Amino acid sequence: GASAPMETPVDMMAVIRECSSLGSADANRIDSLVTTDAQILGEYGEITSVTSNLISNALRYSADDAPVEVSWSEDDDGWCVLRVSDKGDGISPEDVPRLTERFFRVNRGRGRDSGGTGLGLAIVKHALVRHDADFEIDTEIGQGSTFSCRFPPERLRFPSPGMLQSESVGQG
């Protein structure tokens, strides 16, 4: 079928706010830090799906009172990064390459999430590939995990407040 239009500017601050309130019981655990107003040129539904999957995983796989950090920032190289960090159990190194396989499930031995078809990271990975983004998983047993989605400059749009200011110059 025809793919969705991939040129819609997606406001990440709105996406993060929306996804953070989804599990409203856990919303107080989410610390979000947005340091860029960069928008992603892409498909709103897919970007929202990526963000909500990563946030719900972080909440699910860490202690009930542990904070989950979500950030949207610009790197030195002009890429922008969505990061979701938890203070969970971490993931064993041999499992990390398999996390984005369909239906792969980390055996955490907790039984808290017995149903489901895995972490949803196959969906995340697929959506990110369609947006030319890199997906990085940084994890340490007993310390937690950070999932980073890096979007290249050609996929970003920066609303330019500078234009508005110059237009209003000399009106008073």
Tell me which of 61 and 134 has the higher pLDDT: 134
User: Mean pLDDT over residues 97-103, rounded?
Assistant: 83
pLDDT at 115 over 80: no
* Cα 88 to chain centroid, rounded: 17
* Total number of residues shown for the chain: 172
- This prediction has a pTM of 0.84
Q: What is the rounded CA–CA span in Å between residue 81 and residue 151?
A: 6
Choose the weakest-confidence range: 56-60, 67-71, 153-157: 56-60
C-alpha distance from residue 30 to each of 3, 62, 73, 82, 136 (Å)? 33, 12, 16, 14, 20
